[in-house]
C-alpha cells in the first residue's frame, strides 16, 4: 500500500561531475518496481540534475525553502521557485537546520505550509538527540515535533506529508539505530497519526535516516513501519546509493 521512497540528501556536497555520474548509472540501472528515488542536491546543481536525470527514474528534491513566496530575503529560495523548476520534494526540519540555523518548531511549520502551498511534498525530519534518548525522552521529543507540525494541517495537507525519523546521534556518525529502535519510533509516529485519521496513518510514508548504507539498508527497510530511507553520506557514492535503492524492493 505504501510505495518505498529513497531520498538522497547531498547536503553541501557534490559537483556537476557527480550529478552526471548519477545520471549515467541510473539510466542503466534496474530498480525494483514501485521504488521512488529522489536526489536533493545543493541548489546550484538542480539545473544540471534536471538535465542529467531526464532519462532516469530519479526525481528532484530540495534541501530547504523560505516560508515566503517572494520578497527581500537575500540568499533564499521560495517554494514557488522550486515548483516552477520541477522539484517534487523538499526537506523541512532537518536536524542540521534545527541546530545550526536555529529553526524552531514554528519555523519548521512555516516551511511545511510553504511547501504544501507550492504543491511540493515536504519530508518532515524529526529525531531526538543522544541526551534525550538517554533520558528516556525519545517518544516525547519526536511526537512533539510531529505534533507541532501536524496539529494545524487539514486532512488533505496531511495526506501529502512524508515523515523522516532521523535520530540526531545517528546522522553522519556511522552509528545506525538498530532496526528495532527505528521500528519502535516509527510505530509510535504512525499510532500518533492514527489518532487523527486511521486511513491516512496507514498510508503515511515513514523514512528512516541516520547512517543508512548498503550493508544495513535491507534490514532497516524490512521493518513493517519503515517505508524508505533518507540517506546522507551514502547518497554521495553512486554504487552504494544504487545498492540501497535496490534493497528497497
Ligand atoms: C541526513 O543528512 O539526513 C542523513 C541521514 O545523513 P547520514 O546518512 O550521513 O547519516
Q: Is the pLDDT of residue 85 over 90?
A: yes
- Measured from CB, residues less than 6 Å from any atom of ligand 1 are 9, 11, 166, 171-172, 209-212, 230-234
Residue 12: burial class (beta carbons within 10 Å; 0-12, 13-18, 19+): exposed
Task: Tell me the CA–centroid distance for residue 36 and ligand 1, in Å.
Answer: 18
Q: What residue's CA is closest to ligand 1, atom 4?
A: 232
Complex confidence, ipTM = 0.98
* 9 annotated ligand binder: yes
Q: In ligand 1, which atom is closest to the CA atom of 174?
A: 10
Span of 113-117, 172-176, 219-223 with lowest mean pLDDT:
172-176
- CATH code assigned at 85: 3.20.20.70
Q: How far apart are CA 234 and CA 22, in angstroms?
A: 13
Phi, psi of 175 (to 5 degrees): -105, 110
Per-position b or e across 15-44, b if 16+ CB within 10 A of its CB: eeebbeebbeebeebebeeebbbbbbbeee
Q: Verify whether residue 166 is a known catalytic residue.
A: yes
Pocket test for ligand 1, best of 39, 171, 177, 244 (most atoms within 8 A of CB): 171
Res 248: pLDDT: 95
Residue 79's domain comprises 5-246
pLDDT in tens, 3-24: 999 999 999 999 999 999 999 9
Overall domain count for the chain: 1
Mean pLDDT of the chain: 96
Q: Is the pLDDT of residue 166 over 80?
A: yes
Q: Is the pLDDT of residue 37 over 90?
A: yes
pTM: 0.97
Amino acid at each position: 500500500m505504501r510505495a518505498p521512497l529513497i531520498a538522497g540528501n547531498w547536503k553541501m556536497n557534490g559537483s556537476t561531475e557527480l550529478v552526471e555520474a548519477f545520471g549515467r548509472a541510473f539510466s542503466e540501472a534496474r530498480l525494483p518496481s514501485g521504488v521512488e528515488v529522489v536526489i536533493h542536491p545543493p541548489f546550484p546543481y538542480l539545473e544540471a540534475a534536471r538535465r542529467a536525470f531526464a532519462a532516469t527514474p530519479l526525481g528532484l528534491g530540495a534541501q530547504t525553502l523560505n516560508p515566503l513566496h517572494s520578497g527581500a530575503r537575500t540568499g533564499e529560495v521560495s517554494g514557488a521557485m522550486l515548483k516552477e523548476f520541477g522539484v517534487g520534494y523538499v526537506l523541512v526540519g532537518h536536524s542540521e537546520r534545527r541546530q545550526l540555523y536555529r529553526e524552531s518548531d514554528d519555523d519548521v511549520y512555516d516551511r511545511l505550509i510553504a511547501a504544501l502551498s507550492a504543491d511540493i511534498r515536504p519530508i518532515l525530519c524529526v529525531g531526538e538527540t543522544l541526551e534525550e534518548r538517554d533520558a528516556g525522552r525519545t517518544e516525547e521529543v519526536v511526537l512533539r515535533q510531529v505534533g507541532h507540525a501536524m496539529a494545524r494541517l487539514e486532512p488533505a495537507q496531511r495526506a501529502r506529508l512524508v515523515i523522516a525519523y532521523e535520530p540526531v546521534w545517528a546522522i553522519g556518525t556511522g552509528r545506525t539505530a538498530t532496526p528495532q529502535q527505528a521500528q519502535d519510533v516509527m510505530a509510535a509516529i504512525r499510532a500518533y497519526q492514527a489518532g487523527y485519521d486511521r486511513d491516512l496513518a496507514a498510508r503515511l510514508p515513514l523514512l528512516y535516516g541516520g547512517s543508512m548504507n548498503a550493508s544495513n539498508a535491507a534490514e532497516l527497510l524490512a521493518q513493517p513501519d519503515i517505508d524508505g530511507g533518507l540517506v546522507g553520506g551514502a547518497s554521495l557514492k553512486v554504487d552504494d546509493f544504487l545498492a540501497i535503492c535496490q534493497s528497497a524492493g
